[in-house]
Amino acid sequence: MSLRLRIALSILVICLLLTGLVMAVLVADARSERSSYESAREVLINSAREQAATVAGVIGGQSETLRAMAASLEYRAVSIEDFSPESLESVASVSGFDTIFMARADGSVIDYGDGINISDRVYFQRALSGEASMEYAVFRYTGRDGVVLAVPYYHEGQVGGVLFGIVYEESLGGLLSSEKYGGSGYSFLADGMGNIVVSADSEFDDLEGVSLFELSDELAIEGYDNLEAGFKDLLSGKIDFFSYTYQGKARVGAAAPLASSQIPANDWYVFSIIDQAELDAEIRANRRNALEPMEILAVFFVLALIIFLFLERDSRRQLEKEAETERRLADAAKLHAEDLRSSEELFRIVVSQCDRHVYRYEIEEGGSSIPDGSFALGRVAEGSRERYRKFFEDINSGKSPLTADIEFEMHVGGARWYRHNSTTLFSADGRPKTAVISYYDCTQEHDREQTFTLWEQRIASLSGEHNAMFEWNLTLDRCEGVYGAIAESFVKTNRSSFRECAKAFVDTHIYKDDVPAFTQLMSRERLIGNYFDGLRNVDLDFRCARSDGEISWINVNVNLSPYPDTQEIKAYILFTDIDSEKREKLELIARSEHDDMTGLLNRKAFIRRVENLLERSSQAMHLLIMLDLDGFKQINDSLGHDAGDKALTAFAERLRTLTRSTDLSARIGGDEFMVFLPNMPKSSDLAAKVKSISGAMRDIIDLGGETKVSASLGAAVYPRDGRSYEELYKSADTALYYTKTHGKSGYSFFEEWMNTD
């Protein structure tokens, strides 16, 4: 083949290759542009949906919290006029609202002296009609824009007012932040009327509160001659990706509704926007990235063909040089293979753990070093020191992977738990060389795991008829776990609410005298109120009817805690059989409060019970009587102590038959007795009552011969003769002294003149 023919064929091949490359570039360019556009569309739609879900979740959770608070206030029967706005201040900070208010039925906001009235607001009117509502508004007291959530407040079965919370635009603005396109994108929230509620872009700052439909001169959606028609199709879901022009700048964006059954309004939308210039820049970058390999490939082929045609004689030498270079590179790669492998493995591990704190721990020869800086600073808690030491000993010995929870004493915030994960890199000879250790704060997770572990241990240890547990979501009023026979009878499949289950349990299990206390404790509204008041653990001892008809003592303990990352309230309820311990405790209390000989109350128990009755019934009339056996010393001296004990026992028995079940009787020492008659009717004849007791205490028992047993009485009336036990005691003692010095075997009421005699 001639040189001219070879040159012609080479030129033809080059032309064909160049033509193919140009066509490939054009196809790649078109595909890149279409792919970039579709990618932007998907990114913006997903961004709008994610932000809409975030806003809907926050507003939905806040709406549920507001309903729970209104139900708690209704249960407590708080009158609108007795309502204290200060009680909502502590709730606002944990509920997510910037502020919470209560308005009367006439629209006046409580505790605002300047007369703020919201009766003309749509959210107030809808809430007053009995439904939850949501509205974008400017609150008149603060003059600040925000989203208002409102629910009706019921009092005695009627709507007595409106409980409403406000989330200002700056709080919602934090939820509308797009991370797409390097943060250059922005978002805004609009209601179903097209009003811009919250914007994350400065160009819309002066448009907040203005309907998008009023901006026909400034906005233009491509493909629509009428702005309102374009936005209505967008808000109705007919389109979800759009482009428009505002103030001469082209934009592309997507919209997503706040679709959630938990929020009062479902016609609000989140718009996620980027400049058309940003999209064009990305398309150009993608096209450039797609074309560069083609260009490099074209140059390579041209140079290769030229070298093949004109430098064929030098190709072997060049190939030998390249082979030599490859051998040198191979030798260098072999020398550094171990370091390269370690670096690649280190990079892989760091990437997989990028959401945690990561550091590199170099293992010394012999594997005996343990970082002791945290020990020296006192950072590692005492209970975790051995676990910390064991963690690094295992690393040094080559164990991998490893996990350990270590507690540290922090300068601020108290003790915190950190979960450490370690992966070891080994040298070519199998020696542990480097450990990559990541850690993160797992305090909440650790505490939750500890709680669940304890909870599971308790569940595993359940035995007996009356030991049981269950879990209840109080916010959603939903049972989430049942363990033990008594709990299974508490939660029946045909009952859904906490109230219905509690009532069924009361009707079938609770001893009648303990029904009021149990019903008061096991109220969903009361438990929610306890949670917001800061009372997170309550319990009650009550009596329960067993299957054999006997009565058994049970303890119910309710622990209230929030769900992780939500405002929902969870109740852990534990039933424990305490019958033997309770009966033993009651028996010990009874023994400690009663006189061994007579069985009456002793002095200490009598005083404590009288003081409790005086405190609880300060408006009633009570009677305190002091009694003393006449001639008791002569009985002991003449007939002996056995006769004296017999007289005391008979005296106490007679005293017991003369008093009501609500009265208190006590032996306070020697031959002295006391009786307290609480809540005497205002019209009762106290003198007749004391006289009858005095008469009944004569000649109780014949001890032989002329020895008879009788008593002297001194009486004091509450509140006339004293307002405390000490005052009543002194008055009754003075009256008793008067009786004993004026003939004995009788009675006297205290009079002021007795103190002067």
Q: Of the candidates 438, 444, 395, which has an alpha carbon nearest to the alpha carbon of residue 419?
A: 438
Q: Of the candidates 1, 485, 605, 41, which has an alpha carbon nearest to the alpha carbon of residue 279?
A: 41
Q: Is the pLDDT higher at 268 or at 690? A: 690
Range list of β-strands (E), 170-214: 186-190, 196-199
Q: Specify burial of residue 242 (Cβ count, 10 A radius: 0-12, 13-18, 19+).
A: buried
Q: Is the pLDDT higher at 637 or at 157? A: 157
The confidence score (pLDDT) of residue 721 equals: 93
The confidence score (pLDDT) of residue 216 equals: 53
Mean pLDDT (the chain, rounded)? 77
CB contact at 8 A, 154 and 161: no
- Could you tell me the pLDDT band of residue 503, with boundaries at 50, 70 and 90? confident
Walk across the sheet containing 432-441 and list its strands. Answer: 357-362, 432-441, 415-426, 402-409
Four-residue CA torsion sign, 385, 390, 391, 395: positive
* Element at 310 (helix H, strand E): helix 276-310
Q: How many Å apart are CA 513 and CA 537, to the nearest integer?
A: 24
Kind of pairing between the strands at 664-669 and 133-139: unpaired
Q: How many Å apart are CA 536 and CA 477, to the nearest integer?
A: 18
Q: Is the pLDDT higher at 656 or at 305? A: 656
The confidence score (pLDDT) of residue 698 equals: 76
Q: How many Å apart are CA 754 and CA 757, to the nearest integer?
A: 5
Peptide bond into 719 cis (omega under 30): yes
Q: Is the pLDDT higher at 322 or at 254? A: 254
185-209 per-position pLDDT tens digit? 777 788 777 777 777 655 554 455 5
φ/ψ of 83, rounded to 5, equals: -70, 135
Lowest mean pLDDT among 252-261, 338-347, 648-657: 338-347
Q: Is the pLDDT of residue 318 over 80?
A: no
CB contact at 8 A, 405 and 388: no
Q: Of the candidates 569, 356, 556, 367, which has an alpha carbon nearest to the alpha carbon of residue 477?
A: 569
Range list of β-strands (E), 546-603: 551-562, 569-577
- Could you tell me the pLDDT band of residue 218, with boundaries at 50, 70 and 90? low
Q: What is the DSSP letter of 471?
A: E
Q: Is the pLDDT of residue 494 over 50?
A: no
Residue type, position 546, single letter:
R
Residue type, position 70, single letter:
A
> Average pLDDT, stretch 541-550?
78
Q: Is the pLDDT higher at 141 or at 466? A: 141
Q: Is the pLDDT of residue 212 over 50?
A: yes
Enter the tokens of residue 684. Answer: 């009762």
Go through 284-312 and write b for each residue having 16 or more CB atoms within 10 A of its CB, e for each that does not.
eebbeebbeebeeebeebeeeeeeeeeee
Kind of pairing between the strands at 478-483 and 537-545: unpaired
CB contact at 8 A, 291 and 33: no
Q: How many Å apart are CA 700 and CA 656, to the nearest integer?
A: 13
The confidence score (pLDDT) of residue 67 equals: 87
The confidence score (pLDDT) of residue 183 equals: 61
564-587 per-position pLDDT tens digit? 666 788 888 888 888 778 787 777
The confidence score (pLDDT) of residue 332 equals: 63
Q: Is the pLDDT of residue 493 over 50?
A: no
The confidence score (pLDDT) of residue 80 equals: 77
- Could you tell me the pLDDT band of residue 416, with boundaries at 50, 70 and 90? confident
Q: Is the pLDDT higher at 90 or at 337? A: 90
CB contact at 8 A, 757 and 747: no
Lowest mean pLDDT among 105-109, 379-383, 440-444, 717-721: 440-444
Quote the crossing angle between the two packed helices 3-75 and 524-532, to the nearest 10°.
110
Q: Is the pLDDT of residue 331 over 80?
A: no
Enter the tokens of residue 278. Answer: 């940003």
> Average pLDDT, stretch 509-522?
87
Walk across the sheet containing 241-246 and list its strands. Answer: 196-199, 186-190, 269-275, 249-257, 241-246, 219-221
> Average pLDDT, stretch 720-744?
92
Q: Is the pLDDT of residue 636 over 50?
A: yes
Q: Is the pLDDT higher at 623 or at 684? A: 623
Give Cα separations from 100 to 60, 78, 90, 168 (angstroms): 16, 16, 10, 12
CB contact at 8 A, 139 and 209: no
Quote the crossing angle between the two packed helices 276-310 and 3-75, to the nearest 10°.
150
Go through 176-212 and write b for each residue having 16 or more CB atoms within 10 A of its CB, e for each that does not.
bebebbeeebbbbbbbeebbbbbbbeeebeebbeeeb
The confidence score (pLDDT) of residue 623 equals: 94
Q: Is the pLDDT of residue 627 over 80?
A: yes
State pTM to two decimals: 0.39
341-395 per-position pLDDT tens digit? 665 566 566 555 555 777 788 887 765 666 655 554 557 887 888 888 888 888 8
Kind of pairing between the strands at 219-221 and 196-199: unpaired
Kind of pairing between the strands at 747-749 and 415-426: unpaired
Q: Is the pLDDT of residue 696 over 80?
A: yes
Q: Is the pLDDT of residue 333 over 80?
A: no
**To the nearest whole percent, how much of the chain has pLDDT over 90?**
9
Q: How many Å apart are CA 395 and CA 751, to the nearest integer?
A: 89
> Average pLDDT, stretch 35-47?
78
